Structure 1
Amino acid sequence: MDIHNWQPLTIEEVSLLFRDISIIWGIAGGWALDLHVGRQTREHKDIDIILFRKDQYKVYQYLSKDWILYKAYKGTLELWEGEQLEQVNDIWVKKDEHSAWAFQLMFVDQVDKDWVYRRHPEIRRKANDIFLTTTDHIRYLRPEIQLLYKGGGAVIREKDDLDWQMMLPHLTVEEKEWIVSGLKGQFPEGHRWLKTESI
């Protein structure tokens, strides 16, 4: 299975596909940051859709009629057949066995009314406050939360560093304070992004 064969849907195609599903979802990843600044800032090889884990069965039922869904976990891809997923956070989706990957689902956790950052569960936010919406009514993950996911990974990729530098001028004081607090919470020993002069 070729993990590099991606022909991602456009944001418009994702919006159309998810238009009739009765769950809260939003665009994540680099595209979320581009939606926030209002323009495409770099090439994107995939597209990520974020949703709450509690809605996984609804999204499986909605998509599985027309799409094939694979669980991505610890470097492997296995067919997802609708079973409850507690540890798996990422689902890769394609139209059929021979087609390219079209989009990725990312599950996030919720406790009561709070979104919980799984890498450091003390970091929380009201679940109804993790998304923003464009003038075209496209929901996307808040930039400071998306940057925490990028900066909090085991490996910070070149594109993550580029996204960090690109987004800094667009963040409000409150958004900067939030991401600084989040990175300090997860990395009390220090984090290279916190050495940025403009932070």
Structure 2
Amino acid sequence: MAYQAIFRKVVQCTCGVAMVEFALGVPILLFMLLGGLELTNLMLTHMRISQIALTVADNAGRVRTGIDESNIYEVFAGANLVGQDLEFENRGRVVLSSLEPNGRSGTRAGQRITWQRCFGGLAVAPRYGLQGAGATDASLAAGMGPAGNRITAANATAVMFVEVSYDYRPVILESLQGVIGTIRYESAFNVRERTNQAITNTQGLSVRSC
């Protein structure tokens, strides 16, 4: 009978329920907390990469009198400043292309990439063509950009087309590395008041070609 009484007390005892519930709930709460922090960091990174794409296209389009390699250095310096906290110079890539009409007629009329410059250590090739593409044919007649949203330049002007890629590395949940992968944004701005689109190199700087 004594054993039965002890067993009954053990079965009816609820003094450890809170501890068990806490032990079961902590992993879930911890995962939600860490997941929320990772999601916030991912969203902020997306905003920053989008900002880099807009900044590069806008700043390159604002160069008015003529475009020089020194201007390209300044534009990329701004991109590096925006992405400094993300180690963008090592883990990112900016492709800046000057898209213009190719000046051809008939079946060869279209757009061309007159010059193209790159910045960043991430090994990502330009998606829509290299410098010189479309110069003598209609391969870029539809312009640059994804299908259904292609950009073209009007006659006697140019469009600064920017592709930005970034290798995102999770801060907390490293298992998401293969799920998220590379963040990519594109942007384009018309050139303002610049009639001469040929790029110069008055200071003999190293060309940041792609």
What range describes the TM-score normalised by the shorter chain of this pair? under 0.3
**TM-score, reference length from structure 2:** 0.25
Relative contact order, higher structure (CA 8 A, sep 6+):
2
Larger Rg computed on CA atoms: 2
TM-score by length of 1: 0.26
Compare the two structures and name the one with the higher helix fraction.
2
Higher strand share: 1
